[in-house]
Amino acid sequence: MDVTPELQAYYERDKEHLRLRAGRDRLELWRTQDVLRRVLPPPPARILDVGGGPGSTPSGCRPTATR
């Protein structure tokens, strides 16, 4: 998949990470992390994060995902 220069520039500015940490958008982050904690296997487990953003969502699941 080709990434447009605009999309590349957006993620390089780290705005998505900041967006999910402020205001109403925190609910999106918290809800996503809540769902992941309930559906991911218990530790010890290996989970592959294939990416799709700045990594904000899996960072909140570290206590659950040990490897």
Q: Are 42 and 64 in contact (CB under 8 A)?
A: yes
Structure tokens that stand for 25 in this block: 């958008």
Taking CA 23 as the corner, what is the angle to CA 17 and CA 25, rounded to the nearest 5 degrees?
55
Query: What tens digit of pLDDT does each residue of 7-53 get?
Result: 888 778 877 777 888 888 889 888 988 998 899 888 888 878 776 66
Of residues 48 and 61, more confidence is placed in 48
* The pLDDT of residue 65 is above 50: no
Residue 59 pLDDT level (bands cut at 50, 70, 90) = low
